[in-house]
Structure 1
Amino acid sequence: MNAAPADQIRLLDVQALDVRLSQLAHKRRTLPEHAEIDGLNADHTQLRDLLVAAQTEESDTAREQTKAEQDVDQVRQRAARDQKRLDSGAITSPKDLESLQHEIASLAKRQGDLEDVVLEVMERRESAQERVTELTGRVESLQSKIGDATSRRDTAAEEIDTEIASVTKEREVIAGTIPDDLLKLYDKLRAQQGGVGAARLYQRRCDGCRQELAITELNEVRGAAPDTVVRCENCRRILVRTPESGL
């Protein structure tokens, strides 16, 4: 393949821009905010699970408290009815009176036991409510941090995208001045060689693979016409000659 020396030099400009585009893409992918947001989201998910569990516990204890209070009220009402019957004097049988008094005493004990249950449930509910309040605050704090990190990430990404657009435009302009066959070869080699398709020959060394050319290869390059597109024998990249090639 033949190409004007100026076209080959411009190929190095395209290569430099492609390297810059790769660097920008890598920078965008590895913004520290990505890892920060991932960590915060993981913490947020964990806290949300804990909050849901605490809210469920609070809801369960609320129902449990309502049921316990209803049980106390039922015993209290029954005891009140029995006491009213006792106080009415309608029961004259000693045996019935003794039975009723015994039931009232039993109900009083039952009421006391149930009221203890209510107190125990209330304490558990209060603890659950405190846990809900604490976790809600922590979740809201994390949401704020996630929002801040997301904003910083988006700002940084936008700045990188702006530079990518500028570099891409510059590449399009320069690439448009290079012959199609040379550019196609370069793009093919760049895909095969880790993003570097063309390298300058600098002080008898290929800048692509960093290998110094053997004397026979160097002589072949020296003898090649200026418009001949030469390739590195080691890495097969396009080897661009410059005044600093050491030929």
Structure 2
Amino acid sequence: MTVALKASPDDQALLLEVQQLDTRLQQLDHRSKSLPALAQLAELAREEEQLRKTLAQQRGGAEDARAELKRVESDVAVVEARIARDSDRLQHSSSTKDVHALEQELASLRKRLSDLEDIELTVMERVEQEQDALSAAEGRLAELRERVVALEAERDEQLKGLESERVHARANRATVAGKIPPELMALYERQRSRYGVGASHLRGGVSGASGVRLTESDMARIRSAAPDEVILCPDSDAILVRTAESGL
């Protein structure tokens, strides 16, 4: 359909350049949001979160094992001190009754010490295992962080290149848009904000915005319109730009 606006065919044709640049800017925005590095970084972030949870559990396990080892070592030290004390008393005792009691207590203490040393050995092995697991997890985290840093650098470099292209496209758009009458440009912006496309090239009877061939009745109306009349595409509602390729 036509609108209450007229513009020279050359001015209307400039809209195709603006639309091409707007499409390019949309593509650059899409590429900025869909870089492979972004998906990889998101996956690594999930891995890192899970790994940090695992590390927290392993640190807790290692700390518990070390605390248990300290308790056992403390118990060993207490028993060893009692054995040393009773041994000294035994050497200096002249009472048969006391000697017998001390010998019984020492036998009990040595049994207790043997049991504690077995426990100590088991806990020491556990401490070593917990520490090995913790070190391995910390190593995996360090490797993951290295991958993240490398991917972030790759992402930043790609975004920098895309932003450079974006700045160039925006500058070109501003230059072309500055040549278009304000009323026509305002209509283009309004249609683009509403329908996603502001200008559509009619080529061989097909609207570029919709990819649909116009009906014969639509084509007849377009042929009867003056060259400076502004026409909207019946399918996409974008400004329909007519050129020598339009098949009119």
Report the TM-score when normalising by structure 1: 0.95
What are the Cα deviations for residues 133-174 of structure 1, in whole angstroms up to 9, with x where unaligned?
211111111110000011001000000000000000000010
Alignment correspondent of 1:204: 205
Instruction: Please give the secondary structure, in 2, of the residue aligned with 1:229.
Output: strand
Alignment correspondent of 1:170: 172
Q: Matched residues in 2 for 1:189 and 1:89: separation?
A: 110
What letter matches 2:120 in structure 1? Answer: V
Note if 1:52 corresponds to 2:56.
Answer: yes
Alignment correspondent of 2:69: 65
Instruction: Please give the secondary structure, in 1, of the residue aligned with 2:83.
Output: helix
The 5 A counterparts of 1:75-86 are 75-86=79-90
Q: Which moved more, 1:178-187 or 1:160-169?
A: 178-187
Residue from 34, 39, 47 that aligns with 2:38: 34
Q: Which moved more, 1:154-163 or 1:77-86?
A: 77-86
Alignment correspondent of 1:233: 234
Alignment correspondent of 2:220: 219
In the TM superposition, structure 1's runs of 4+ consecutive aligned residues that sit over 3 Å from their partners are none
Q: Is the 8 A contact 2:93 2:99 kept in 1?
A: no
Q: Which moved more, 1:213-222 or 1:109-118?
A: 213-222
What letter matches 1:184 in structure 2? Answer: A
Unaligned runs of 5+ in 1: none
How far did residue 93 of structure 1 move?
4.1
What letter matches 2:148 in structure 1? Answer: I
Q: Matched residues in 2 for 1:234 and 1:145: separation?
A: 49
Alignment correspondent of 1:135: 137
Q: Which moved more, 1:70-79 or 1:209-218?
A: 209-218
How far did residue 181 of structure 1 move?
1.3
Aligned pair count?
244
Alignment correspondent of 2:128: 126
Residue from 24, 42, 45 that aligns with 1:20: 24
What letter matches 1:180 in structure 2? Answer: P
What letter matches 2:36 in structure 1? Answer: P
Q: Which moved more, 1:180-189 or 1:45-54?
A: 45-54
How far did residue 49 of structure 1 move?
1.9
What are the Cα deviations for residues 36-68 of structure 1, in whole angstroms up to 9, with x where unaligned?
111112112222222222222222211211111
How far did residue 186 of structure 1 move?
0.9
Q: Is the 8 A contact 2:200 2:239 kept in 1?
A: yes
Q: Matched residues in 1 for 2:117 and 2:163: separation?
A: 67
Note if 1:106 corresponds to 2:114.
Answer: no
Q: Matched residues in 2 for 1:159 and 1:30: separation?
A: 14
What are the Cα deviations for residues 69-115 of structure 1, in whole angstroms up to 9, with x where unaligned?
1111111111111111111134x143x33222111111111111111
Percent identity of paired positions between Structure 1 and Structure 2 = 37
Q: Matched residues in 1 for 2:217 and 2:138: separation?
A: 75
Alignment correspondent of 1:245: 246
What letter matches 1:49 in structure 2? Answer: K
Q: Matched residues in 2 for 1:236 and 1:25: separation?
A: 24
What are the Cα deviations for residues 190-211 of structure 1, in whole angstroms up to 9, with x where unaligned?
12222x1110111112111122
What letter matches 1:136 in structure 2? Answer: E
Q: Matched residues in 1 for 2:76 and 2:89: separation?
A: 20
RMSD value, Cα = 1.2
Note if 1:189 corresponds to 2:200.
Answer: no
What letter matches 1:228 in structure 2? Answer: E
Q: Matched residues in 2 for 1:234 and 1:155: separation?
A: 41
Q: Matched residues in 1 for 2:219 and 2:93: separation?
A: 129
Unaligned runs of 5+ in 2: none
